[in-house]
Structure 1
Amino acid sequence: MIGGTGLIGSKVVTKLGEHGHEAVAAAPSTGVDTLTGEGLADALDGADVLVDVSNSPSFDDEPAMEFFRTATTNLLEQSAKANVGHYVALSVVGTDRLLDSGYFRAKQAQEDMIAASGRPYSIVHATQFFEFVRSISDFSTVDGEVHLPPVLFQPMAADDVAAGVARTAAGAPLNAVREIAGPEQFRLDEMVRTALADRGDPRPVVADEQAPYFGVQVTERSLVPGDDAQLGAVTYAQWAAQQK
């Protein structure tokens, strides 16, 4: 489990363990570094599945591309040497629609490398997490106001993201993309307005059709999955109640 000590990775490790699978958390803090390759051979020795939920520490264009290209190259090489039978990577719903962003170009490069590798794989596209709504707000704040486009938005709980990744990892390789999402659709500005109010954050949220989403102009359905997405169970209200 690459990125196995983070928000999603730690939950995936737990969920796989609950279903009788032995999942090993791998991260720099455990001696595994995907950028240098340190510890990868030992971590993958005897593994049936490699799950990568790691993320670039920087969202800037060049560092993100360098991270995903280098890490994915090392993971593909070492997983091939270890004869790992299934490569699972977590990515983002709408990645191919957000390529004006250098970060999403880097995510697309990661996906393309995996798909072109010849290794059996599954890519899980998840919608944004409830846990990151504050980050969206902070990034979109201008002069004390949160400016967001009123487009469709279908966020999900981190627990449901982890469940979707664990379910995919325990199954046969798809050699394709699987989309997972929350059970409810909102307007992005409405979702953030509600979330900020629940947190007691006084910032006003402005519905602005020209406002970008993390620097990218989006359309009505840029951020939501197709009709065949697997939906999580946790609603926003249920998740918010758990945070109190």
Structure 2
Amino acid sequence: MVTGTDSRRRTRANIIEVATRLLREQGAAAVTTRAVAQAAGMQAPTIYRFFEDKDALLDAVAEHVFSIYTAEKALTEAGDDPVADLRAGWDAHIGFGLANGALFGLLTDPARRSPAAEAGMAVLRARVHRVAAAGRLRVPERRAVELVHAAGTGAVLALLAVPPSERDLGLADAMYEAVAHAILTDAPHLPDGDALTVAFRAVVPELPTLTAGERTLLTEWLDRES
């Protein structure tokens, strides 16, 4: 039995799917309420029953597509090499951005706060944390996350600004190598002092023999050292 709530949910999902297709094929300018309504086989006023305006519809489209991408990233099983997993995440990020140029522009707009984008950042933080715990990180985790995120976003935007036939995809590889050189150590078995401090800092919250106060004090000391 299809209820009114189910019908409304399906109609909203259909509008988002149609708008997503228009965005991918023709860009953000093509996503007008009239165009979406026509492609979805409904009257334009119907759109306004679900979305206040075009910006609200675009927000929903961006959230929908990026939520799927983020969920797939979160379900990817961690491998034995956290550094390789970090690189794989970088490659996936670059690939998603280039395949979804119009959406990427929406997601990187500072004025738009996206729960899906935050979920993606959580995945990145988890990957960086594994690198730190393995003794491969020479900078604090927060700095590493911010550097990877900024470099990845910048690389995609720079490539999107160039016609596809003229893009130098090696730019993204070079950007990753530069960031990796800045944040990673060469070997996990002989970490330098900074990497050892960062690695210890990463596992402090998981030490069961320490009290909460002891973990706090140790964390503060390690923060000063790093």
Q: TM-score, normalised by structure 2?
A: 0.29
Structure richer in strand, relative to its length: 1
Find the structure with the greater CA-based Rg.
2
Query: Greater RCO between the two (CA within 8 Å, min separation 6)?
Result: 1
